[in-house]
Chains A and B, each alone.
Chain A
Amino acid sequence: MKIEMTGAQAVSYSMMQINPEVVSAFPITPQTDVIKEYAQYVKDGKVTSEFILTESEHSALSVLVGASSAGVRAMTTTSSAGLAYMFEILGIASGQRLPIVMNVVNRALSGPINIHCDHSDSMACRDSGWIQLYSENAQEAYDQTILGLKLAEKMNIPVMVMQDGFICSHCFQNMEVLKDTEVKKFVGTFKPEYSLFDFKKSVTFGPLELTDSYFETKKQLSLAMDEVPKEYNKISEEYYKLTKRKYAPVEDYKAKDADYVIVALNSVCGLVKDCVDELRIKGIKAGLLKIRMFRPFPYNAIIKPLANAKWITVLDRSESFGANAPVYSEILSTMKAKDKIVTSSIYGLGGREIMKEHIMEIFDDMIKPKGKNLRFINSK
């Protein structure tokens, strides 16, 4: 079914179709629209979820740790400072291998306080043991929430689905949604291996683990993460049969034969695709490699699309102050070994505009290097 929705409405719609037993959240801009829509679904009786508005994000995710341990589906949504406030519980959710799904609407971290988009919030959580899926638009955010839930439950690893605050979350986009029955059939029923409500097999969740076993629990998570790209592909294959929309950990947009490639994630990819198309008409082999799955990082999947590139520029919408930016760091570590030129450009911090002229400037400098300093894009 074709429909017009904002990114926030789209993920709220997917949550409604999944109808998890527990949804707990605390409102924060720009995530507010997700939870506002969901509250309406609760009020209208479209979902049967236990909807718990807590006094903080720390509590919201704690509620879900309890719910998920009790063996039910549990989802939340947040942004920026809210995600930062959840940080302690992120590690508990992944450490206890609870398949919680969270929609993150990317917003800059304070300070200075700012409500607009960048990826400093979710990138700061990249080592928290959660699977991270980034979405270019409302369609991808919707699809990856449904895919992500199935992936989480298959791997027993929590999933974060990202979309850009305001740019994606508040802009109406044409997209397709599945029927409620199709989503229900696709996600199936959740049958956890252990549950606090399984009285025939009583277990202890979240015990103390010191020097003799903590390491093994973390090793299990690390080894399980290695299997995630393979499982993501299996689930996306199943999803493709249903939707004819193909998902892979990375999207190769004319990158395979390209001389000049931009690597990026989330909404800017739409803009880069436009620029790539324009350059291709002029006969310049430009391309984009879009990263969907950032954790675990699909190292094997990026090698082929970048194999022919003469120059790769990595766009990051977050900083790792005094070190290589998050996406750049991953691409550099893989492609430097292949003797590629890999450069970094930081853009859009705190919602700073990124326009076609800026992307073109980056491509131009790869095509005919003029020694311009493009470390920070559109920054005075």
Chain B
Amino acid sequence: MKKLTSKEMPIGGVIDEKASSLEYKTGAWKSYKPIRDKKKCINCLLCAVYCPENCIKVKEGKVQDADLSYCKGCGICATECPVKAIEMKKLEECDL
């Protein structure tokens, strides 16, 4: 995301471009990362429904690999998963 100076920024914090929040990758905030065990997953899609950031994509009724650009690591997906297929793993323990 481009950093603007005080002279370049619109006054009063106004954002004068559309959909600029897409550039704000909130995924950088997380300290836990969700790891899905594809063998355990039953494709009930509850994780996709509950994810507050809409990170989990669904294609033809199947859970796809999540786009974690906006995943803050809240762990709601892991909590809601009925078969415990999602594990929240400390970021430093993950292969990035």
A contact residues vs B (CB 8 Å cutoff): 95-98, 156, 193-194, 201-207, 209, 212-213, 216-217, 219-220, 223-224
Contact = CB atoms under 8 A, between A and B. Distances in A.
A194 B16 contact: yes
Contacts of A212: 1, 3
Instruction: Name A's interface SS.
Output: loop
A18 to B, nearest CB: 22
Nearest to B18: A202
B14 interface: yes
B10 interface: yes
Contacts of B9: 213, 216-217, 220
Contacts of B13: 95-96, 205-207, 209, 213, 217
Contacts of A193: 10-11
Given A212-B3, A216-B6, A223-B6, A156 B11 contact: yes
A223 B6 CA distance: 10
* Chain B interface bracket (under 10, 10 to 19, 20 to 34, 35 or more): 10 to 19
18 contacts: A96-B13, A156-B12, A193-B10, A193-B11, A194-B14, A194-B16, A201-B16, A203-B15, A205-B12, A209-B13, A212-B3, A213-B13, A216-B6, A217-B11, A217-B12, A220-B9, A223-B6, A224-B11
B96 interface: no
Given A97-B11, A220-B11, A203 B6 contact: no
A219 B14 contact: no
A207 B15 contact: yes
Contacts of A202: 18
- Most chain-B CB neighbours within 10 Å: which of A201, A204, A224? A204
B12 A97 contact: yes
Nearest to A205: B14
A202 B14 CA distance: 10
A216 B5 contact: yes
A203 B14 contact: yes
Contacts of A217: 6, 9, 11-13
Nearest to A223: B6
B6 A204 contact: no
Nearest to A206: B13
B28 to A, nearest CB: 12
Nearest to A93: B12
B11 A219 contact: no
B19 to A, nearest CB: 10
- Most chain-A CB neighbours within 10 Å: which of B1, B5, B6, B16? B6
Closest 3 CB pairs of A and B: A97-B12, A204-B15, A216-B6
Given A95-B12, A216-B4, 20 more contacts: A96-B13, A96-B14, A156-B11, A193-B11, A201-B16, A202-B18, A204-B15, A205-B12, A206-B13, A207-B15, A209-B13, A212-B1, A213-B4, A216-B9, A217-B12, A217-B13, A220-B9, A220-B11, A220-B12, A223-B6
Interface in B54-80: none
A73 B3 CA distance: 32
A194 B16 CA distance: 9
A220 to B, nearest CB: 5
Nearest to B16: A203
Contacts of A219: 6
A194 B18 contact: no
A202 B16 CA distance: 7
A66 to B, nearest CB: 14
- Most chain-A CB neighbours within 10 Å: which of B3, B13, B14, B16? B13
